[in-house]
Structure 1
Amino acid sequence: MGALDFISDYFSISTRRKKRKAMQTVDIKVKMDCDGCERRVKNAVSNLKGVKSVNVNRKQSRVTVSGYVDPNRVLNKVKSTGKRAEFWPYVPYNLVAYPYVAQAYDKRAPPGFVKNVVQALPSPNAPDEKLTTLFSDENPNACSIM
């Protein structure tokens, strides 16, 4: 039985494998001024293990990395190039209920994007909300007011 126990232990250990990380896309905001900055960031990120593609958009200051990577490792690798980096804080403005509230609107955001912040809905009894719904197309009494 000693030989069989050894063989069974050998096969049970070898069948354990590491779980592979899930395929994901990481967006990072990095300020890049020139071709050298762009090339430095792209080379640093593309050398990471598990990276499938790197897309650098200098106009938007955005780096998109796809692959089997850890988002924090990608962020740290970009920071190691000497650039200030953060995760992409913007979402398209049409996905936000009130895109131009003070917390969401950002002048430095690329066109068509606003910050991804939690937004409070206005109370239905607020005076400005009453006025906007008074002349709304969804108000059945709007014609009688006009």
Structure 2
Amino acid sequence: MRFVQLLYMELRINIDCNGCCRRIRRILLKMKELENHMIDKKQNRVCVYGVFDPAEIAIKIRKKVRRRVEIMDVQEFKQEH
């Protein structure tokens, strides 16, 4: 049996314009591993939440967006009952 853990990951991606922001949002919405995301255009930051491998998701985003992606922070999301 495999333990499923929810992760929160913060990425830095250079977001120059509204078109870049739209393209990143469309790419994130198509990724089935991600449950939720938040894009902060002013700080060039993208936060994602879901069940995934952080390095794998960063590589997928980098290939699709064709921009440099830096992993800033990864945290395990703890649920309280």
Question: Which is greater in Rg?
Answer: 1
Deviation, structure 1 residue 24: 0.7
Q: Do residues 28 (structure 1) and 11 (structure 2) align? A: yes
Moved over 6 A (4+): none
Match of 1:85 among 57, 62, 69: 69
CA contact (8 A) 1:49 1:69 kept: no
SS at match of 1:88: strand
Kindly provide the CA deviation profile for residues 47-83 of structure 1, in whole angstroms up to 9, marking residues without a partner as x: 2222110100010100000011111122112211111
Percentage of matched positions with identical amino acids: 25
TM score, norm. by length of structure 2: 0.77
Unaligned runs of 5+ in 1: 1-16, 90-146
Match of 1:49 among 7, 32, 43: 32
Residues 125-140 of structure 1 aligned to structure 2 (within 5 Å)? none
Q: Which has the higher strand share?
A: 2
Deviation, structure 1 residue 20: 4.8
Pair 66,33 (structure 1): closer, same or farther in 2 beyond 3 Å: same
Whole-angstrom distance in 1 between the partners of 2:38 and 2:20 = 14
Structure number with the bigger relative contact order (C-alpha 8 A, sep ≥ 6) is: 2
SS at match of 1:60: coil
Between the two proteins, the alignment pairs up a number of residues equal to 72
Which residue pairs with 1:72 in the alignment?
55
